[in-house]
Structure 1
Amino acid sequence: MSAPPRPYRRNALWIAAMVHRVSGIGLALFLPLHFLALGLSLQGAARLDSFLRWTDIPLIKLAEGGLVFLLGVHFLGGLRVLFVENFDWRVNQFRVATAAGGAAAMLAFAFLIRVL
């Protein structure tokens, strides 16, 4: 026998909270790669230049656009959580969550246009 559906999982704000958590995990997975790049800069210019040439691959540029999206979503989702927890603000949460996702997507798109 399956469990009854949970109506709160159909809520857009639940989805926004889940996107915030997943973006945090994605950023945490990226962090070791960032530290690797910083470490290569300490090993000399030739090692860093080799790594930076690798990052010119279009697939890597696309992944960087995804990273910008994750940063935007996580930042704006965090602001939404701060407002929810510290103010009596319940009326326009759905609109703000939708706007935050749209703003993050536009930011990532602008980044991709600039780097590709």
Structure 2
Amino acid sequence: MKNDLKYIGKNIRAARKNKKLTIEILSELVGISESFLGTIERGESSLSIETLISICNALNISSDSIIMNRTEPLPAVADKKDTLLTMLNNASDAELDFLIDYIKFYRSRITF
């Protein structure tokens, strides 16, 4: 059980860092204290299924990505990527150039 908690905590921490969120921000999104989230990430505390679901929802990931370290995107994300790829495949060179410039501009202004 202790190893399971460490494994789950490690995966939560990795997902949080991947989303570039601090413990403070994630704990606010989930509605738990920073210290409790820290103990979860270190595998020192167990968490309820409700807390696990809240963490996964806040990170926009599936619970099996935490429990089983599954890295495939959620179906909604996969659908969005498929839609975007279809649109890109049908775009003209001018549209592609515009989109590339727009994404570069957007990313330079927004922190994820």
TM-score (norm 2): 0.31
Structure with bigger RCO (C-alpha 8 Å, 6+ apart): 1
TM-score (norm 1): 0.30
